[in-house]
Amino acid sequence: MLNFELYTPTKVIFGKNTESQTGEIVKSYGAKKVLIHYGGESAKRSGLLNKICDALKTSQIEYALLGGVVPNPRLSKVNEGIELCSKENIDFILAVGGGSVIDSAKAIGYGVASGGNVWDFYEGTRSITACLPIGCVLTIAAAGSEMSNSSVITNEDGWLKRGSKSDLGRPRFTIMNPELTYTLPKYQTACGCVDILMHTMERYFNNTTMELTDHLSEALMRTVIMNSKILLTKPENYRARAEIMWASSISHNGLLGCGTDGGDWASHQIEHELGGLFDVAHGAGLAAIWGSWARYVYQENVERFAQFAANVFDIPCGSNLAEAALAGIEAMENFYRLIEMPVSIAEMGIHLTDEQIETLAYKCTFQNTRTVGIIKKLSLDDLANIYQMAKI
Amino acid sequence: MLNFELYTPTKVIFGKNTESQTGEIVKSYGAKKVLIHYGGESAKRSGLLNKICDALKTSQIEYALLGGVVPNPRLSKVNEGIELCSKENIDFILAVGGGSVIDSAKAIGYGVASGGNVWDFYEGTRSITACLPIGCVLTIAAAGSEMSNSSVITNEDGWLKRGSKSDLGRPRFTIMNPELTYTLPKYQTACGCVDILMHTMERYFNNTTMELTDHLSEALMRTVIMNSKILLTKPENYRARAEIMWASSISHNGLLGCGTDGGDWASHQIEHELGGLFDVAHGAGLAAIWGSWARYVYQENVERFAQFAANVFDIPCGSNLAEAALAGIEAMENFYRLIEMPVSIAEMGIHLTDEQIETLAYKCTFQNTRTVGIIKKLSLDDLANIYQMAKI
Greatest extent of chain B over all pairs of C-alpha atoms, in Å: 66
| Cβ density class A268-291: b for 16+ within 10 Å, e for less | bbbbbbbbbbbebbbbbbbbbbbb
Whether A77 contacts A68, CB under 8 Å: yes
Helices (H), B279-320: 282-297, 302-313
Yes or no, beta carbons of B215 and A238 under 8 Å apart? no
CA distance B102 to B107: 9
Rounded Cα–Cα distance for residues A102 and A392 (Å): 33
**H or E stretch at B217:** helix B211-233
Alpha carbon separation from A323 to A214, A289, A299, B58 (Å, rounded): 21, 21, 11, 56
Residue A17 has pLDDT above 90, yes or no: yes
**At residue B10, does pLDDT exceed 90?**
yes
Which of B14, B19, B213 is best to mutate for the A interface (most A CBs within 10 A)? Answer: B14
Q: Answer yes or no: do B211 and A243 touch at CB < 8 A.
A: yes
Gap between the Cα atoms of A96 and A113, Å rounded: 20
**Interatomic CA distance for residues B329 and B305, integer angstroms:** 8
Out of B8, B14, B258, the one facing A8 most closely (by C-beta) is: B8
**CB-based contact, B11 to chain A, within 8 Å:** yes
Residues on chain A touching B5 (C-beta within 8 angstroms): 11-14
- Residues A13/A175, Cβ–Cβ less than 8 Å: yes
Bridge partners, residue A63, by sequence:
A34
* Per-residue confidence band for B274, with pLDDT thresholds at 50, 70 and 90: very high
SS3 state at B166: coil
Closest CA to B203 of B147, B134, B146, B253: B253
Q: Is B96 helix (H, G, I), strand (E, B) or coil?
A: strand
Asked if A147 and A253 touch (Cβ cutoff 8 Å), the reply is yes
What does DSSP assign to residue B23?
A: H
How many beta-carbon pairs under 8 angstroms link A with B?
106
pLDDT band at B15 (very low <50, low <70, confident <90, very high): very high
Q: Which one has a higher pLDDT value, A72 or A335?
A: A335
3-state secondary structure at position B64: strand
All residues of chain A having their beta carbon less than 8 Å from the beta carbon of residue B250 are 212, 216, 255
Pairwise CA distance, residues A306 & A314, whole Å: 10
CB neighbours of B17 closer than 8 A, spacing ≥ 6?
A: B177, B179
- DSSP bridge partners of A65: A36
Angle between helices A282-297 and A380-391 (to 10 degrees): 110
Residue B14 pLDDT: 98
What is the reported pLDDT for B72? 86
Q: What's the whole-number average pLDDT of chain A?
A: 96
Whole-angstrom distance, CA of residue A36 vs CA of residue A17: 19
Burial classification of residue B116, based on how many CB atoms lie within 10 Å of its CB (0-12 exposed, 13-18 middle, 19 or more buried): exposed
pLDDT of B124 higher than 90: yes
Nearest to B4 among A7, A15, A210 (CB): A15
Residue B29 has pLDDT above 80, yes or no: yes
Q: How far is B206 from chain A (nearest CA, A)?
A: 17
Measured between beta carbons, the chain B residues lying within 8 angstroms of A16 are 3
**pLDDT tens column, B97-115:** 999 999 999 999 999 999 8
Helix axis angle, B282-297 relative to B186-204, nearest 10°? 40
Domains and CATH numbers, chain B: 11-180 (3.40.50.1970), 184-391 (1.20.1090.10)
* Model confidence at B279: pLDDT above 80: no
pLDDT at res. A318? 83
DSSP annotation of A156 reads: T
- Note whether A29 contacts B: Cβ–Cβ < 8 A: no
Predicted confidence at residue A41, as pLDDT, reads: 84
With CB atoms and an 8 Å threshold, state whether B243 touches A216: no
> Chain B residues with CB inside 8 Å of A246's CB?
210, 212, 258-259
ipTM associated with this complex: 0.95
Cβ–Cβ < 8 Å for B154, B164: no
Residue B40's pLDDT is 86
Interchain pair A222, B215: CB under 8 A: yes
The number of angstroms, rounded, from the C-alpha of B201 to the middle of its chain's C-alpha atoms is 12
Mapped to the 3 state alphabet, what secondary structure does chain A carry?
CCCEEEEEEEEEEECCCHHHHHHHHHHHCCCCEEEEEECCCHHHHCCHHHHHHHHHHHCCCEEEEECCCCCCCEHHHHHHHHHHHHHHCCCEEEEEECHHHHHHHHHHHHHHHHCCCCHHHHHCCCCCCCCCCEEEEECCCCCCCCCCCEEEEEECCCCEEEEEECHHHCCCEEEECHHHHCCCCHHHHHHHHHHHHHHHHHHHCCCCCCHHHHHHHHHHHHHHHHHHHHHHHCCCCHHHHHHHHHHHHHHHCCHHHCCCCCCCCHHHHHHHHHHHHHCCCHHHHHHHHHHHHHHHHHHHHHHHHHHHHHHHHCCCCCCCHHHHHHHHHHHHHHHHHHCCCCCCCHHHCCCCCHHHHHHHHHHHCCCCCCCECCCCCECHHHHHHHHHHHHC
Q: Do A258 and B246 touch (CB under 8 A)?
A: yes
**In terms of DSSP bridges, do strands A62-66 and A33-38 run parallel, antiparallel, or are they unpaired?**
parallel
Is B8 close to A13, i.e. CB distance below 8 A? no
Taking 90 as the threshold, does the pLDDT of residue A158 lie above it? no
Residue A279 scores a pLDDT above 80 = no
pLDDT in the model for residue A275: 85
Test A216 with B219 for CB contact under 8 angstroms.
yes
**Interchain contact A246–B (C-beta under 8 A):** yes
Q: Given B15, B239, B259, which is nearest A4 (Cβ)?
A: B15
Contact of A197 with A221, CB cutoff 8 Å = yes
- Element holding B360 (H helix, E strand): helix B354-364
For residue A226, which residues of chain B lie inside 8 Å, CB to CB? 211
Does B28 lie at the interface with A, CB-CB under 8 angstroms? no
Kindly report the average pLDDT of chain B as a whole number. Answer: 96
Distance from CA of A242 to the nearest CA of B (A): 9
Buried b (16+ CB within 10 A) or exposed e, A47-68: ebbebbbebbeebebebbebbe
**Which element (helix H / strand E) includes B184?**
none
Going by the DSSP 8-state scheme, the letter that residue A339 receives in this structure is T
> A167 vs chain B: nearest CA distance in angstroms?
11
Asked if the Cβ–Cβ distance from A12 to B5 is below 8 Å, we say yes
Q: CB–CB of A296/A382 below 8 Å?
A: yes
To 5 degrees, how large is the angle CA B90–CA B95–CA B101? 120
Record: contact A220-B216, CB cut-off 8 A: yes
Closest CB from B212, B219, B247 relative to A247 = B212
In whole angstroms, what is the distance from residue A213 CA to residue A151 CA?
A: 24
pLDDT tens string A224-242: 999 999 999 999 999 999 9
Minimum Cα–Cα distance from B245: chain A residue: A212
Residues in chain B: 392
Least confident of A15-19, A155-159, A264-268: A155-159
Q: Which residue is closest to A9 within chain B, CA to CA? A: B9
A15 and chain B in contact, CB less than 8 A: yes
For residue B45, is it left (φ>0), alpha (ψ between -120 and 50) or beta? alpha
Q: Is A215 close to B220, i.e. CB distance below 8 A? A: yes
Determine which of A39-43, B190-194, B324-328 has the lowest per-residue pLDDT on average: A39-43
CB distance B13–A2 less than 8 Å? no
**pLDDT of amino acid B116:** 87
Is the pLDDT reported for residue A105 higher than 80?
yes
Average pLDDT over residues A305-314: 97
Chain B residues close to A258, C-beta within 8 Å: 14, 246
Q: What would the mean pLDDT of B137-159 be, rounded to a whole number?
A: 94
> Pick from B347, B313, B349, B308: which is nearest to B331 by CA?
B313
User: Would strands B150-155 and B160-165 be described as parallel, antiparallel, or unpaired?
Assistant: antiparallel
Q: What is the pLDDT of residues B196-232, one digit of tens each?
A: 999 999 999 999 989 999 999 999 999 999 999 999 9
Q: What is the pLDDT of residues B302-333, one digit of tens each?
A: 999 999 999 999 998 888 999 999 999 999 99
Residues 6+ apart with CB under 8 A from A296: A376, A382, A385, A386, A389
